[in-house]
Structures are given as structure tokens and as C-alpha cells.
Amino acid sequence: MKNPLDSVGATVTLGVLFSVIVMALPGTPGGEFSNLGLGRWLHTVTGIFWIGLLYYFNVAQIPALAAANADKGGPGGAGIVKYVAPRALLWFRWMALATWLTGAWLLGGRLMDAFTLQEGSVVIGIGAWLGTIMLFNVWVLIWPNQKKVIGVVPATDEEKAKARRTATLTSRVNFLLSFPMLLCMVGSAHGLPF
């Protein structure tokens, strides 16, 4: 029998099942999990996936690729570009979308109030706008340019260099925006008056 921890998919499935078991434990209804809800849990998990990868790209992968490419005697960044980046970008872009969709689901009838910054929805509205800008950046600027960098679409060396710069700067914008976005999301969830 194969160990399920050898598979990312099996590990995620087991994590979800274990979460359901924990939420169903005797004594929890009306207890700590009564206000959690499936939507909030999904929004939190997908958000951690998305922002975790954003932080990984900005503090680990981008600097590592720069160092690898500058090291003329080293192995270069081909392994990262060929094997790591495509997989990380796949999870990154789809978790960005899943986070936005679960956030919209959580807002429900308050969605327009949030986006129009109505009284009582300003903090979550700012967070929603920042998340929307970040989602736009992922799908409209980062991913199309990364496809050139990692070879999904053909590009000259000059086009790859320009695409790399655009994707990096846009990723840095998202990195910057993530800090106030997270502040608004957590503040709103805990009723903090900013």
C-alpha cells in the first residue's frame, strides 16, 4: 500500500477529511466551530495557498533565480524555470481565483456594499478591492508574461527579458498590496475598527 503522504492530492484530501472530522467532534456544535462555516474555511485555505505562493515567489524564487543566473559557473535557473515555476504558477493562479470567488461568496448580499465602500463595509471593501486588483494582476499581467518566461508560449530572449521584468514588478506590487489587504481581511473578520 502506498503512503498517502507521498502524494500532494492525497495529502490535501486527507487534510480536508481530517478538518471535517475535527469540526464534527462531539461538543463542537455551538462551540468553537459554530461561526467558522464552509465558506470562511475555504476562503482561508485558498487564501493561504495564494498568498503563501506569492510570498514564496518574492522572497525565495525570484531572488534565487537572480542569484542562479548571475553565477556564471553554477547550474543556472533552468531547473527552477522548468520544474518548479510551472507547478507553482498553476497553484498560484487558480488559488487566486478560488480565493476571490470564496470571498465573494462570503460577502453574499454585502458584495456591492463592500465594493462601493458603504458604511459598515469600508474595511472589508478596501480588502476586497485590493484582492480584486491582485487577482487582475495575476491573470492579466503575471501569468501571460510568465508563460513567455517558462516557455509555454514562444518568445525571443528580448521578449522573455521584458516579460520577466513585467511579471516580477507586478508580483512585487501584489506582494506590497497583500499587507494592507490582509490587514483589512483580518480586521473585518474580527470587527476591528480602523
Contacts of 188 (CB under 8 A, 6+ apart): 123, 124, 127
Residue among 137, 133, 122, 108 nearest 191 (CA): 122
CA angle centred on 133, ends 108 and 84, rounded to 5°: 105
77 in Cβ contact with 65 (< 8 Å): yes
Taking residue 130's Cβ as centre, other Cβ atoms within 10 Å add up to 21
pLDDT digits (tens, 9 = 90+) for 14-48: 998 998 787 777 766 544 554 557 788 889 999 99
Cβ neighbours around 145 below 10 Å, total: 24
- The answer, yes or no, to whether residue 93 has pLDDT greater than 50, is yes
pLDDT for 162-190, tens place per residue?
Answer: 999 999 999 999 999 999 999 998 887 65
User: Are the C-beta atoms of 148 and 160 separated by less than 8 Å?
Assistant: yes
Q: Diameter of the chain by CA atoms?
A: 62
Distance in angstroms (rounded) separating the CA atoms of residues 72 and 13: 43
